Structure 1
C-alpha cells in the first residue's frame, strides 16, 4: 500500500526477459535507499513491483507480461521517460495523500496542460472502467501521484486536476505532452462502495433482501 506522495524520480531499462533496472536520478534517492530491502514493494509510476536486487543507485525488479500489457511500463516510449518512485507505507507513517494500492486500473492520456499563476491545470482522459470511480473532489492516482479531481466531464470521460508547482517539478508530470499515456488507479473506497451497492450486504438475512436501498440506509441511521 502507498500514499501517492512521490519520493524520487528514476529511469527504467530492460535487462532481458521480464527483469528491469530502476535507477534513481533525483536528489532524494537516499530517502528510498536508506531502508530499502530485498522483497520490499516499490511503486514505479503507480505500479507495485518487488525489489529482487539492490544496486548502488537503484534496484532490479520483475514486471510480468500482464503488468507490461496493462500499464505504461510496457510501452516502448517508457524506456526513455522518467518514472515516479515511492516505497510502501510503513505502520505509523503519515498519510499525506490517499490509499494507493499500486494496482493500475487502466491507461489514460494527457489531453492538455496549462500553467496558471498558482498551478498547472491538467486534463486527462480515462477509459470507462476507470471513469466510473472518478468524482469531483475525489482522489485519483496518476502515475502513482495522489491528486484531487477538480472537475469531471462524464460525457467526454475526461477529468481535470490542479497540480502545484512542487509536484509538477518533482514528478514526471512535467515530462508529459498531450497524447502521452499515464497509469490510472481509482480510489479504493469507490470500488468497495460499488461492490456493496451492486452485490448487497452479505450479513443481512436473505429473506430480508440484500440490496442496499434508501430504506435500508434510513433504517440504519444513514439518512
Structure 2
C-alpha cells in the first residue's frame, strides 16, 4: 500500500467525509488543500441517474466556461484554402487536409481538439478508428464540424469543454486551476453543472443529478449539497 505523505494527510484531515458542502465552502477548501508544487486542476465529477447504454439516456455536449480552463489547448483543423487561412488566423496549431490526415495516421496526434469544415468530413471519416477512441472525432452536434472554423478555434482556445457520460453514468471534467480566484471557480462550476442539467435526456427518470464531488488533482474529494446546487441554478 502506498504511503500517504504529510501534505495529503493534512488535506484529508481537513475534510469531513460525511458532510455535503455548500459550493462556496467546497471551493474555498479545495483551493486551501491544493498545495502541490504545480498549479493543480480543479476537477468536478457528477454521478447521473442514467443508463448511457440506452440511446435516450445519453448525455453529451459542449459548454463554454466563463473563465476558461487554465489549460493550453492545442487545436487541429481540417480545412482548405480560405478556411485554412481563417483557422490559422484564429490561432489553430495545426491546419491541413490530406497532409494532416497522413500525419495523424502516422501517429502524430499532438492536439487536444479537432475541428473540420463540412466538406472535409470525407477525409476525416477515414480517421474514425484513430480519433474516435480518443474523443477527438469532429462532431456537428458539438460545433466541431462547422464552416465557422475561426469561431470554433477561438471557443476551444477560450475554454470550451466537452462533456460525455461514461458507461457508469459519470461525467467529469476540469473546471479551472487552483490559482483561479474563488469567484472564477464558482462561475465555472455553475456553468458546467448548468450545462449538464440542461442536457438531461428524455429517458432519464427519477433523480437526474445524484452526486457531485469537487477536488484538486492531488487533493481529497468533497461531496457537494446537490439539492442546494441545483436550486441555485434554477433560481
TM range (shorter): under 0.3
Q: What's the TM-score, normalizing by structure 1?
A: 0.24
Q: Which structure has more helix as a fraction of its residues?
A: 2
Q: Which of 1 and 2 has higher RCO (CA within 8 Å, sep 6+)?
A: 2
